[in-house]
Amino acid sequence: MLVSDNKLKYGVALLLCIGTGIAVLKLGGWFNPRLQAIQAPALSGERIHIPDQRGRLTWVSSWSVSCALCLRELPDLEALHLQYGKHLQIVALALPADPPNAINDVKNRLQLTLPVVLDLDAAAARQLTPDLVVPSHHLVDSEGRVLLKLKGALHREAMLAALQPYLPP
């Protein structure tokens, strides 16, 4: 009986430790990390703020001019921008290694009106895509919490499905 009582005590202690650890991680922001505020220039000349200063959610899609999958999904991002731009800031974040003239060529060729952002100092890439895997997507709330992280190419329906719980009815 003494052995089973000790097992029970150790089991309860272990569960308490695990529960406390999870609570500390959650309160510490480990499950929804916060971004340092990012300000980056868009090709249009405006400065884009992540998180959005108007309180909207921000969908950041990291891409590269040399990524065929990225170039295929940019028109889908444009469609989302046109449909949900009042409720959602959509940003196409070019990798820091991409030359601005090549980024501008893509923007003009695809007739993008969504903000195409230059990450000149790599501040955004260090936080969002330190592994430089593109395409990658992040949904950031107005407090800078990363709500979603998705890697790989997405078509418009997959983007909408990921966004659906966060969009107004």
The model's confidence at residue 23, banded by pLDDT at 50, 70 and 90, is very low
- What's the domain range around 138? 35-166
Asked whether residue 26 falls in the same domain as residue 42, the answer is no
d(CA 67, CA 165): 29
Identify the pLDDT of residue 8: 59
Asked whether residue 63 falls in the same domain as residue 82, the answer is yes
Asked whether residue 6 falls in the same domain as residue 65, the answer is no
Cis before residue 135, ω within 30 degrees of 0? yes
Identify the pLDDT of residue 107: 98
pTM above 0.85, yes or no: no
Within 8 A by CB and 6+ apart from 67, the residues are 134, 135
The model's confidence at residue 30, banded by pLDDT at 50, 70 and 90, is very low
Asked whether residue 73 falls in the same domain as residue 10, the answer is no
Q: In the predicted model, what is the mean pLDDT of residues 132-140?
A: 96
pLDDT digits (tens, 9 = 90+) for 58-89: 999 999 999 999 999 999 999 999 999 999 99
Asked whether residue 8 falls in the same domain as residue 88, the answer is no
